[in-house]
Structure 1
Amino acid sequence: MMLGGAGMLLVASPAQAAGTSYKTECLPPPISGLPPVQGTTVVQLTAPAEAKVGDTVEVVWKTVEAASKNPDILDLDKDTVKPTGTIKVGGAATGTLKMEGPRQNPPIPKNSAMVLSDMKGTLKLEKAGEITLTPDAYDINVSKPLSTDTKCSPKEAVAPGATIKVTDGGGGTAAGGTTSGSTGGSTTAGGTTSGSTTAGGTTSGSTTAGGTSSGSTAAGGTTSGSGGSGGRTDFPGKEVSVHFACTSPGPADIATKVTIDAKKSGGSYALTVKTAKGVMNSPAALPAGALKPSMDIVVGGADKGSVKVTGPANTEPLEQGKPVDLSDMTGTYKPGASGKSTLSPGTLAIDVTLGSSKINIPCKVKGSVTPSLELDTTAQQGGASGSASSGASGTSGSTAGSTTSGGGLADTGAEDNGTLRALGLVAGTAILLGGAVFTFTPWRRLRGTR
């Protein structure tokens, strides 16, 4: 192997620039919802043709063509893309040379070629002989709107991109060690990637996505209660299983338990909706206040319509790949009909906000759902009855930020699919959306009910 960093950097004479291409698979950030990308990477390596034992040489990796374009989701801003990569060292010495490029790029429009800065690394030559340099895997980090990584690796044997003939300058030692730092203005070769995070990497500890525990509780053995005489005010619902299918860039499927509890106040009911703990894994590292859940509760039986319930945003940062507990969601149900009315889980929405960037990921119910709660209701003026397409209950008595709304489930979810997809990639940071990283893998299947 080569040991980098020590000694004087040699600007070899003459320098050589050789090109090589290889089939590559790129894995987009888990949050992007995009499948793996198959393409061809074209790399030009520049290194001295000849050098002596003890010299420290600079190797430059120029990406002539990346394996994928920036997808047709959003434009990448200037100086938001940073590449890192690895070169395999073979021949007279073996090892790896880590390469790093600056976060430096022109604006990159969507559906256009990726433009990556040149990566550099320094190599100390410690053994005479012919050394080969072969480009290997590389990562692309996008810093906005979220920090996301696309990881690319060869899918075939790669030919060497450059060769250095090392002559014995006396006093050479057996090659060993690892690649190391740079000199002058070049970036550290073998140091940590500034500002980037490994897509899919592990992080310690999990945090909840809200200030309250989202563990659902069994609501006894029954789902019904009298909302009229007797003075009863608390009506616990039963825990029911629900499967959700989410729109990209959300997860393909969420399986969880949902419980709908009600508390009578006058003629209306204050609803509290809980999901199971660890309902999904965070697709990216998100700051506090970035993720907020909401759900449309479907009103059936004697009454018709829907009630929107919302939960507070996460109070603590979320770590990529760690389980997320959705906060309890609240809202107010105002009956529009008298009789036995049921409340069932409907469309779940996950809202992610990073600065001025917002994304809404709707997750619709798959299959049939058993009602969580049945109430003996009395019609109230302006209630939910008959609101299959408009006007469920009003907002009186609702918790801050939550309102009731009518409309069938088809009317819920993202209002702007284009914005949704763009932000989705934009997970650049949390949006989890992939900072618009140019390639992405589907969001990992979210964790089901405990």
Structure 2
Amino acid sequence: MMIGGAGMLLAASPAQAADISYKTECIPPAISGLPPVQGTTEVRLTAPAQAKVGDTVEVVWKTVRAASSNPDVLDLDKDTVKPTGTIKLAGAATGDLKMEGPRQNPAIPKNSPMLLPDMKGSLKLEKAGELTLTPDGYNINVSKPLSTDTKCSPKETVQPGATIKVTDGGGGTSGGTTAGGTTSGGTTAGGTTSGGTTAGGTTSGGTTTTGGGTTSGGTTGGSGGATDFPGREVVVNFACKAPGPQEGIASKVTINAEKKGGSYALTVKTAKGVMDSPAPLPAGALKPSMNIVIGGADKGSVTVRGPGNPEPLETGKPVSLPDMTGTYKPGASGKSSLTPGALTIDVMLGGSKINIPCTVKGAPEASLVLDTAAQEGGASGGGSTASGGAAAGGTASGGGLAATGAEDNGALRALGLVAGTAILLGGAVFTFTPWRRLRSGR
């Protein structure tokens, strides 16, 4: 039971403090792709040794040691970490005492101990007897670049950290209720910190895909005066690395081309509502890109890119990827196929970038086949060319995709983005709820 109390805070009789250690499991944000962290939490509770019924006393929770250190993902800025926690009450009162600390910490480098500010809570004493206080679970919120939460809970029986002897001082005795401190810090999706650790390392960047452009597509020749060449809709299955969804993804993809001189302006469309937003994101924070595999007479790849989301995204709401565009300059003459390849979703927030790379599973069909004529410097749209029709991370416009570390065996979960996003990660922290999945769309 959590009941708010009132009254003047007292420190009647000398305060007592004791260090309590207990095994702890901390759950990193889903976007991080990291497994639960197993560690030991060491807590020192400070409370009056004795007080009277009717007194309101202050309890202080000092985290001597968090369950794990800040991992090798990113440095945490000064005053970005805020802890909240719960103390279990027993004896003269029962229920939960809510604890809260300020957003106040020194800068915390990667691979260093997680330093949490002290938490405090106030408790009104309403019944005589011995009151025991036992530390329980706690939450770590990191505010930048997105608000992210890591929840830590005991994995063994925890011993009391303090005991208050409550005497009958004539104040009312209405049976054992307590006053909680303020409630826990908000949980939002996005970023990181795991058990006192930042969660998150983003995954390896632009992945390559197989998928040679074979099979039929909207086959139209580049000759005969036609300039518009619509592709056909094909289903592509993706496997994504953390911090993407853990499930397989199926999305319909269409590659359309418009001939401009000896080159083709490509427009790639995906199904509407292909994913659920893992966290609230501002307009322009989420951008897709895709490698288009060139096969048949020509070889190589070209990267198409989409603009940022035009409107802010709400957690759990369907998200449609904007159309992606790029330029294909043929490097060979003959029938050349264009097949969807690796998909990458970039999330940018507060100057930090996270990449969610997704490779193609199996061998998808080509969406479009063109009758091409070789152009000087052609293939891959000015980017790199690969032999054998494999996707080479060629770029059609702009720079290449950033590569970050840490693999995961999952597939694109629901950007639960880089809360915020990984978490969001590429040097950012954010907690997202798991992407539900990319849908096949209509």
- How much has 1:415 moved relative to structure 2? 4.3
Query: Is 72-81 or 233-242 further displaced after alignment?
Result: 233-242
Aligned to 1:248: 242
**Aligned-partner Cα distance in 2 for 1:21–1:438:** 28
Aligned residues: 402
**Aligned-partner Cα distance in 2 for 1:331–1:79:** 42
- How much has 1:443 moved relative to structure 2? 5.3
Aligned to 1:367: 362
Aligned to 2:271: 276
- How much has 1:87 moved relative to structure 2? 1.1
Aligned partners of 1:241 and 1:258 also within 8 Å: yes
Aligned partners of 2:145 and 2:349 also within 8 Å: yes
Could you list the runs of 5+ residues in structure 2 that have no partner in the other structure? 192-215, 395-399, 409-414
**Aligned-partner Cα distance in 1 for 2:366–2:302:** 14
Aligned to 1:409: 391
1:314-365: per-residue Cα shift (whole Å, max 9, x none)?
1222334444321110112222322221110112122222233233333222
Letter in 2 for 1:433: L
Aligned to 1:357: 352
The answer on 1:304 being equivalent to 2:289 is no
1:3-22 counterparts in 2 under 5 A?
Answer: 3-22=3-22
The answer on 1:448 being equivalent to 2:439 is yes
- How much has 1:143 moved relative to structure 2? 1.4
Letter in 1 for 2:182: G
The answer on 1:190 being equivalent to 2:185 is no
Do the aligned partners of residues 449 and 156 (structure 1) sit closer, same or farther apart at CA in structure 2, a change above 3 Å counting?
farther
- How much has 1:290 moved relative to structure 2? 1.4
- How much has 1:444 moved relative to structure 2? 5.2
- How much has 1:97 moved relative to structure 2? 1.0
**Aligned-partner Cα distance in 2 for 1:286–1:176:** 44
Aligned partners of 1:24 and 1:40 also within 8 Å: yes
CA RMSD of aligned residues (A): 3.2
Aligned to 1:393: 381
**Aligned-partner Cα distance in 2 for 1:27–1:192:** 16
1:4-403 counterparts in 2 under 5 A?
Answer: 4-175=4-175, 179-180=179-180, 189-191=181-183, 193=185, 196-199=186-189, 223-229=218-224, 231-252=225-246, 253-384=248-379, 392-394=380-382
- How much has 1:176 moved relative to structure 2? 6.7
**Aligned-partner Cα distance in 2 for 1:66–1:439:** 20
Aligned partners of 1:74 and 1:425 also within 8 Å: no
| TM-score after normalising by structure 1 | 0.80
1:90-140: per-residue Cα shift (whole Å, max 9, x none)?
222211111111111122121111111100000111122222211111111
Do the aligned partners of residues 410 and 152 (structure 1) sit closer, same or farther apart at CA in structure 2, a change above 3 Å counting?
farther
**Aligned-partner Cα distance in 2 for 1:164–1:97:** 14
1:146-168: per-residue Cα shift (whole Å, max 9, x none)?
22111111122222211212122
Letter in 2 for 1:27: I
1:184-221: per-residue Cα shift (whole Å, max 9, x none)?
xxxxx22452xx434489xxxxxxxxxxxxxxxxxxx9
Could you list the runs of 5+ residues in structure 1 that have no partner in the other structure? 181-188, 202-220, 385-391, 395-403
- How much has 1:380 moved relative to structure 2? 3.1
Aligned partners of 1:27 and 1:441 also within 8 Å: no
Aligned partners of 1:89 and 1:96 also within 8 Å: yes
Do the aligned partners of residues 437 and 170 (structure 1) sit closer, same or farther apart at CA in structure 2, a change above 3 Å counting?
farther
Letter in 1 for 2:363: S
- How much has 1:89 moved relative to structure 2? 1.4
Do the aligned partners of residues 311 and 178 (structure 1) sit closer, same or farther apart at CA in structure 2, a change above 3 Å counting?
farther
Letter in 2 for 1:313: G
Do the aligned partners of residues 435 and 330 (structure 1) sit closer, same or farther apart at CA in structure 2, a change above 3 Å counting?
closer
Letter in 1 for 2:391: L
Give me the identity figure in percent. Answer: 70
Letter in 2 for 1:359: I
Aligned partners of 1:251 and 1:442 also within 8 Å: no
Aligned partners of 2:275 and 2:439 also within 8 Å: yes
1:69-89: per-residue Cα shift (whole Å, max 9, x none)?
111122212211110111111
